[in-house]
């Protein structure tokens, strides 16, 4: 099945694209200009229809972190001001998004500069695309700048942002990488890494940055970056012992990182986006984080202390070669295999410069094969999901049948309350199992999206995705809310909307909102909805019930006024739903939680506000006993 191939074949398309366009050359040219300007500099320039922002690789020493913490990782939300709102949002069970504290500190310094903000604003006004780039530590600052810009542009228009780092160290943890995947931004990031450069392989923590070896290395790198023509590499001041120590440190650091698997620890650095590895023989682009770490480790094993230091300063040379290497590759292994997949492996190994390494080549080849063994092409995954959905469709149909039975029951409790107050009957047990099966399917869809295993336009190009996810949300979320309050989770975690709502529902809300905007849906209804359009309505009812209980015993005037406002606001909101025909029959059932709440609240309100005339909506009538019920 060569058609399924491995992910490295797909990611290499990005590397080929970059090498065959002026993007890399222009980015490096501006990085060099920013480096020459010294510490804290940046360059902003428009080239044709593309705007460029380049950050200097020469940064003040605090960027390397004098933080007392061992790993030097800080929570991204420490940036404040909602700069990274899309990335810092956490769901149940997720670890916090962490980034290098020194880089974050330096980014915030740049972000506070009015000159930088105004120039970026001008680029956005005058260009269709923007490239943010940087060399060394400047690349890490560029990554954070791009993330903040993507977060800002997300609420305005689809962003066209590309970030290119040259020899940049790790920025954050696995949670950061996953958050970027979740937002579908991974393809916007590319870190160009020379085969033997040690900086991209280092976790810049206290055990490194306070050593004399590192300080000497930084002085040399920074001096060369600012004056590349006035210095000869033969003037290198580090001793052979210093080089050997730094190389050993990088090798040990990379070996440790390569052994850290997915989900192992949130305090470990983790690759993000694409990695474009370049050697004298060629290039290869990888986007699988585990694969990237293993390959970085293997390539470092082909190096030596004598070359890893200079490699960090040779990106200009590599960029010049890449455009030629993208047009054709030199093969050492002889004739290519008839299998396109085996041929791709041979080309990739040659591009990495590992094809002739007796010990490394087999391990590098096995590493590349990992992707093929674990991955399926995104389009095939989407087709597989459509087939799987057809198999679980009966679960949804049975829940629809259950809702109809509840709506027609003599108990008049409605769909939500019938499930919440269910006994040990086989019918309700079966419906609950169906709910769990559907949850597993849709959580699987979200997980595949997070890991870039589905097409980028998955929810836009396939009509069934929008329709089925919306129907699932309308039908099943009320049951999830019922189970949440039935099991007492609100007593442990707090109310559902702010503390218990699953992430999938927020994603489905976003999909549907995008569709409503694009297709201009939402004409006014002429009859009541078969399913309440606000799927969190019952959670709001549960909160209103709690307010009502509190107001009965509240004596503090301020708290009493607050509770009255909340109850009135919810009542007004509910009436708006009824007026817009966006509530279903089960909401207005005689013995539903909402009907009982409304009756009790209005009785209490008539005592609190005796002079206020209470007008019932047309959907309510009073029977001979004064009870509220619905007429349908």
The pLDDT tens digits for 579-598 are: 888 888 889 899 999 999 99
Structure tokens at 547: 């307010």
**From 312, 377, 459, 490, active-site residue:** 312
Q: Write the CB contacts of 151 (distance below 8 Å, at least 6 apart in sequence).
A: 83, 84, 85, 86, 87
The pLDDT tens digits for 95-132 are: 889 999 889 989 999 999 999 999 999 998 888 889 99
Q: By percentage, how much of the chain surpasses pLDDT 70?
A: 76
- pLDDT-based confidence at residue 2 (cuts at 50, 70, 90): very low
- pLDDT-based confidence at residue 612 (cuts at 50, 70, 90): very low
The pLDDT tens digits for 211-220 are: 888 888 888 8
Write down the pLDDT at residue 350. Answer: 59
Write down the pLDDT at residue 379. Answer: 79
520 C-beta neighbours (distance < 10 Å), count: 8
> pLDDT: is 388 or 374 the higher one?
388
Structure tokens at 128: 């269709």
Place of tokens 């019952």: 538
Q: Is the pLDDT of residue 10 over 70?
A: no
State the Cα–Cα distance between residues 548 and 560, nearest whole angstrom: 10
**From 6, 101, 136, 203, active-site residue:** 136
Structure tokens at 491: 């007593």
Write down the pLDDT at residue 332. Answer: 43
Catalytic site includes residue 136: yes
Q: Is the pLDDT of residue 522 over 80?
A: no
Q: Is the pLDDT of residue 406 over 70?
A: yes
Catalytic site includes residue 595: no
Q: Write the CB contacts of 120 (distance below 8 Å, at least 6 apart in sequence).
A: 44, 53, 130, 149
Q: Is the pLDDT of residue 354 over 80?
A: no
| Arithmetic mean of pLDDT, 333-337 | 49
Write down the pLDDT at residue 69. Answer: 46
- Considering only CA atoms, which of 577, 453, 452, 459 is closest in space to residue 512? 459
| Arithmetic mean of pLDDT, 202-227 | 85
State the Cα–Cα distance between residues 102 and 98, nearest whole angstrom: 12
State the Cα–Cα distance between residues 598 and 316, nearest whole angstrom: 72
| Arithmetic mean of pLDDT, 26-30 | 95
Contact present, 192 and 278 (Cβ < 8 Å) = yes
Q: Is the pLDDT of residue 260 over 90?
A: no
- Considering only CA atoms, which of 351, 304, 316, 295 is closest in space to residue 24? 316
> pLDDT: is 404 or 85 the higher one?
404
Between β-strands 129-135 and 50-55, what pairing exists: parallel, antiparallel or unpaired? parallel
| Arithmetic mean of pLDDT, 506-511 | 87
Handedness of CA 60, 65, 68, 74 (dihedral sign): positive
Q: Write the CB contacts of 133 (distance below 8 Å, at least 6 apart in sequence).
A: 27, 28, 30, 31, 52, 53, 54, 55, 139, 142, 163, 164, 165, 166
Write down the pLDDT at residue 9. Answer: 46
The pLDDT tens digits for 271-316 are: 999 998 888 777 788 888 888 888 888 888 878 887 778 899 999 9
Write down the pLDDT at residue 358. Answer: 44
Write down the pLDDT at residue 227. Answer: 84
Q: Is the pLDDT of residue 236 over 70?
A: no
pLDDT, mean over the chain: 80
Q: Write the CB contacts of 367 (distance below 8 Å, at least 6 apart in sequence).
A: 291, 294, 295, 298
Q: Write the CB contacts of 266 (distance below 8 Å, at least 6 apart in sequence).
A: 95, 96, 98, 173, 174, 175
- Considering only CA atoms, which of 309, 316, 279 is closest in space to residue 295? 279
| Arithmetic mean of pLDDT, 517-544 | 75
The pLDDT tens digits for 154-173 are: 766 656 899 999 999 999 99
| Arithmetic mean of pLDDT, 555-567 | 90
| Arithmetic mean of pLDDT, 390-410 | 92
CA dihedral 518, 521, 522, 526 (to 10 degrees): 180
Write down the pLDDT at residue 65. Answer: 45
Contact present, 65 and 98 (Cβ < 8 Å) = no
Structure tokens at 632: 């349908």
Catalytic site includes residue 253: no
Q: By percentage, how much of the chain surpasses pLDDT 90?
A: 38
3-state DSSP assignment of residue 161: strand
State the Cα–Cα distance between residues 462 and 387, nearest whole angstrom: 13
Q: Write the CB contacts of 99 (distance below 8 Å, at least 6 apart in sequence).
A: 73, 74, 76, 144, 171, 172, 173, 176
576 C-beta neighbours (distance < 10 Å), count: 11
State the Cα–Cα distance between residues 547 and 424, nearest whole angstrom: 30
Structure tokens at 25: 């050359």
Backbone angles phi, psi at 163, to 5 degrees: -120, 130
Q: Find residue 161's DSSP bridge partners.
A: 130
Structure tokens at 376: 């399926």
**From 67, 197, 205, 407, active-site residue:** 197
Q: What is the value of pTM for the model shown? A: 0.67
Backbone angles phi, psi at 132, to 5 degrees: -110, 130
Write down the pLDDT at residue 266. Answer: 62
Q: Find residue 274's DSSP bridge partners.
A: 190
Write down the pLDDT at residue 137. Answer: 94
Q: Is the pLDDT of residue 372 over 90?
A: no
Q: Is the pLDDT of residue 573 over 50?
A: yes
| Arithmetic mean of pLDDT, 420-439 | 92
């Amino acid at each position: 099945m060569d058609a399924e191939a491995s992910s490295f074949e797909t990611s290499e398309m990005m590397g080929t694209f970059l090498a065959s366009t002026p993007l890399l050359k222009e980015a490096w040219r501006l990085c060099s200009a920013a480096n020459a300007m010294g510490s804290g500099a940046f360059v902003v320039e428009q080239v044709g229809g593309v705007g460029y922002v380049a950050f200097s690789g020469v940064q003040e020493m605090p960027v390397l972190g004098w933080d007392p913490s061992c790993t030097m990782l800080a929570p991204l939300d420490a940036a404040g001001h909602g700069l990274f709102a899309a990335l810092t949002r956490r769901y149940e069970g997720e670890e916090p998004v962490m980034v290098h504290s020194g880089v974050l500190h330096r980014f915030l310094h740049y972000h506070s500069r009015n000159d930088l903000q105004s120039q970026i604003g001008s680029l956005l006004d005058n260009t269709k695309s923007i490239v943010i780039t940087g060399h060394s530590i400047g690349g890490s600052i560029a990554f954070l700048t791009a993330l903040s810009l993507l977060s800002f542009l997300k609420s305005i228009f689809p962003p066209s942002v590309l970030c290119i780092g040259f020899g940049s160290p790790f920025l954050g943890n696995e949670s950061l990488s996953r958050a970027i995947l979740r937002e579908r931004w991974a393809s916007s990031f590319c870190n160009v890494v020379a085969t033997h450069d040690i900086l991209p392989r280092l976790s810049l923590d206290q055990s490194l940055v306070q050593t004399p070896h590192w300080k000497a290395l930084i002085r040399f790198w920074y001096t060369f970056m600012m004056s590349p023509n006035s210095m000869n590499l033969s003037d290198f001041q580090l001793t052979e012992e210093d080089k050997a120590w730094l190389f050993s440190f990088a090798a040990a650091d990379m070996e440790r990182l390569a052994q850290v698997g997915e989900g192992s620890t949130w305090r470990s650095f983790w690759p993000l986006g694409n990695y474009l590895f370049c050697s004298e023989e060629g290039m290869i682009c990888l986007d699988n984080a585990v694969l990237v770490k293993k390959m970085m480790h293997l390539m470092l094993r082909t190096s030596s202390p004598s070359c890893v230091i200079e490699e960090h300063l040779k990106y200009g040379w590599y960029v010049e070669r890449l455009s030629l290497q993208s047009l054709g590759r030199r093969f050492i292994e002889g004739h290519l295999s008839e299998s396109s997949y085996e041929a791709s492996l041979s080309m990739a190994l040659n591009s990495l410069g590992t094809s002739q390494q007796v010990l490394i080549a087999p391990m590098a080849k096995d590493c590349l094969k990992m992707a093929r063994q674990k991955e399926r092409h995104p389009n095939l995954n989407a087709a597989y999901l459509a087939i799987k959905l057809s198999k679980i469709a009966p679960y949804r149909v049975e829940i629809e049948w259950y809702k109809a039975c509840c709506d027609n029951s003599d108990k008049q409790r409605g769909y939500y309350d019938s499930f919440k107050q269910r006994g040990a009957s086989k019918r309700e047990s079966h419906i609950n199992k169906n709910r769990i099966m559907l949850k597993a399917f849709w959580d699987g869809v979200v997980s595949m999206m997070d890991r870039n295993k589905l097409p980028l336009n998955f929810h836009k190009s396939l009509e069934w995705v929008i329709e089925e996810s919306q129907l699932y949300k309308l039908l099943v979320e009320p049951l999830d809310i019922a189970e949440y309050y039935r099991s007492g989770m609100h007593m442990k975690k707090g109310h559902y909307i702010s503390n218990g709502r699953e992430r999938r529902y927020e994603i489905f809300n976003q999909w549907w909102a995008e569709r409503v905007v694009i297709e201009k849906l939402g004409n006014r209804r002429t009859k009541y909805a078969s399913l309440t359009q606000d799927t969190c309505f019952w959670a709001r009812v549960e909160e209103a019930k709690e307010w009502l209980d509190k107001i009965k015993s509240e004596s503090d005037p301020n708290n009493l006024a607050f509770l009255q406002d909340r109850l009135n606001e919810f009542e007004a909101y509910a009436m708006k739903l009824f007026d817009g025909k966006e509530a279903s029959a089960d909401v207005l059932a005689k013995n539903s939680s909402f009907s009982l709440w409304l009756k009790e609240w209005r009785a209490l309100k008539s005592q609190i506000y005796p002079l206020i005339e209470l007008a019932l909506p047309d959907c309510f009538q009073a029977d001979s006993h004064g009870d509220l019920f619905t007429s349908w």
